[in-house]
A and B are shown apart, each in its own frame.
Chain A
Amino acid sequence: MAARGTAEPIPAATGARLHVRLAAVPLVVDAVRALVADPGAGATVVMVGSTREATGAELTAALHYEAHEALAQRLLEGILAAAAAAHSLAAAAVEHRLGRVAVGEASIVVAVAAAHRSAAFAAAEWIVDEVKRTVPIWKCDEAPDGSRRWAHPGDLRAVVAGEVR
């Protein structure tokens, strides 16, 4: 599968530069950071989520991600636009891996640039929280013995009931 997503920046109402990509290829953290470089930014926060080798006593060999790509793309664009508006960001970017992500590899990179660090930290954390709360991306945990288990925590029906969009 080829990398999907927007090649061109998405125009946002705030004028912030936004970038969303779902990719079946390894994420390049420096490239995502470079996308949000801005002369007006005094702070850039980059958050990298990666496959952890264990959760409690459960060992993980790799995570496998899949997405409803059209819905995920649109929701991610909306999340970045909302973060840009709420925190006066100069730029924001999010890339998420699809397919097999081995231990230590990045599954998500979020980068935001703002005038000051408090806005950049707050925006980056909010974006990751929203991705985990509403965006249709799923992980399947592959154990060292090859067994696999999909993660479906919580009640998405209740989450979206109040904010269908």
Chain B
Amino acid sequence: MASLSKNRIKRIVEIALHVVADFTGDIENYGFNGFNDLQKRIFLNKLNDLILSEPYHDDNDCIDYSLYYDVPLLMSYLNSWSSISDCINFIFENQAVDLRPNKKIQLS
């Protein structure tokens, strides 16, 4: 496991997208055309929150709460994605694992 799978990332992106849009079908076919500044900002804020709260699974599929997935997000990156598929690929390729700064136990 260790890394977030593309399917898991797609689910996270779907949840973030639901905050700003309703949709049916495969989200990978959609793009960011028509998104205004506020919609982009809210989508990115939600995406960041969801990635940070995603529990880290080690190679034995055990959850390690001392670690989290780190994905740098910037409005400039979103503006360079032509489709939701690009967004999913960006997160997949640029994920890394970091130590949580405060070692509070998260109940989920």
Q: Is A bound to B?
A: no
Q: Interface of A with B (CB < 8 Å)? A: none
